[in-house]
Structure 1
Amino acid sequence: MTRPLALGIDIGGTNTKYGIVNRRGEIVTKGSMPTTGHATAHEYVNALRDQLQPLIDEAGHGNITGVGIGAPNGNFFTGEIAFAPNLPWRGVIPLAKMLNEALHLPCTLTNDANAATIGEMMYGAAKGMNDFVLVTLGTGLGSGFVANGKLIYGHDGFAGELGHLIAVRDGRMCGCGRRGCLETYCSATGIVLTAKEWLAQRNDATVLREHAGHLTSHMIHEAAEQGDAFALELFEFTGKILGQTLADVMVITSPEAFIFFGGLARAGELLLAPTRRHMENNMLNVFKNKVAFILSALPDADAAILGASALVW
């Protein structure tokens, strides 16, 4: 008797993680390999096949229902990665087709934030929810919008890019080529940029000043937990921009919850308290006090694999 299993693959700018997952969201086996170091996408796919084939053979090819892939700029409709700025290959890459031919398994691809959203629906905090927004606060800011129980892809597969709403008009330059995108302020990278700007402009006494050359969002989190006034102000500022933007998001899909995931979200109420306050202060009256703030229930280390595998089901 076959056991229904899914192969989940998460393609990051530095590493690719993969794992075989059962219907209960349990990872049977997993591994990783560098995404970089392959001159072409074809060489990368061949190297990935060589890593995956022993896992597939061990699980039994007939037990694998399919392959789910989460990738930057992944398009669910076409199965292509289109002009991903943080991957080493340029242009449009038909990755789902390439992996289908390499593994002889049906492959489904979407962008990494959408994969995380589907994983949250199937295995995590969004079980049973029909209307929510997942916000991933990592190096960038990703998101997935679910309305009426369905992930919103839009007509071209690229809907729901919360990180590229303009949060500050004529603000910081974003990697997408526009100015003031939300992720340039409210991601792990964004809060570090704010800290460096303030340290250069101001004379605050803060433990962060000694780390100015190699500052991380985790250092800011630790300093804020220790009561550092400068670090606490950084979270207040970041939460203000994020909260004001989420107040605008409310009028589009009226979600029952915002679910937060990623490194910066681990700051918990240091970030979420000011975010909630500024959101409610800027909310249209009809939406006030209706939306929940929830931290992701998926384990950080395995969330990307689980999210990708959920595409299969």
Structure 2
Amino acid sequence: MITPLNIALLVFDGVQILDVTGPAAVFGAANDAVGYSFYRVHILSELGGKVKSNCAIEIDSSSLKKMSPRSIDTLLIAGGTEDKVCEFAALQTVRKWVLKASMSARRYGSICTGAFALGEFGLIDGKQVATHWSSCFDLQTAYPDANIDSNALYVEDGKLWTSAGVTTGIDMSLALVANDLGNEIADAIAKRLVLYARRPGYQSQFSPVLKAQIDAGAPFGKLITWMQEHLVETLTVSTLAERAMMSDRNFHRKFTSATGETPANFVETIRLDHARQLLTSGLSIKEIATKTGYLNATQLSKAFNRRFGISPSFFREMNSSVPISRTDGSN
């Protein structure tokens, strides 16, 4: 009989609710997908009882004292405002428990600004770390020995797993499940949660589409959204200029100035970005080419190799997860 793996999610008053419920939902869905309790999720706080989240929802929690730190397989500290996280990390009971758990756990980490607690405990020195984009500077300033990745959705560095926060906690949790149970189970969970795609950790917190929309603003924001939704169509300068109600020459000049890329380069950027997302799914290269507006797999491969220096198939191989077989409760 398989002993469930204990997942500890540490919370405190003011915790970001999605940093807790997102990962918890993923691990719960994993149990449903395999048909038995592979994971046992524990919501833990210093004293236990009801914890107030940042959005008026209270979360029931158990006291850290009731859970042996050496029984934890995966420890994750949720985020909140930086001051609330640091107040939580300053509690000696919490500090001692986390340090003991991190030594014996198979993996530990944080979601969003929970990384500040890890920093207070000395657990990110010399490590590659992700956190919410708005807190990267503060985290790097506070813990200069850490290497803060301001771009990644989540980062794995040995036993340490950290995510950029909010919905990226779901992405990281799916990656943890994929490591344990394989990509097929993780993909099934993503489908059940109605996620657009499983996002790999290297993906930027700001997608090329979102960044372009922010940078370009009016009059190209809506056009960029339309482009993303119509990748399978022929997106020539003339087609895009007509939708923007501009001459070809004027559109090319203004679009390039607003986004930093020519229209042709930008179309390739969003097509290849979508292709990278789809490469973590079970679709064939031919199917991905069709969905991203390329005539065939060869055309996609040439564009992918020109942009990233590797083939789509090799990229998929590099970013595939290796299942870890579990038959007992040992770490």
**TM-score normalised by L of structure 2:** 0.34
Higher-Rg member (1/2): 2
**TM-score normalised by L of structure 1:** 0.35
Greater relative contact order: 1 or 2 (C-alpha under 8 angstroms, separation 6 or more)? 1
Which has a greater percent of strand? 1
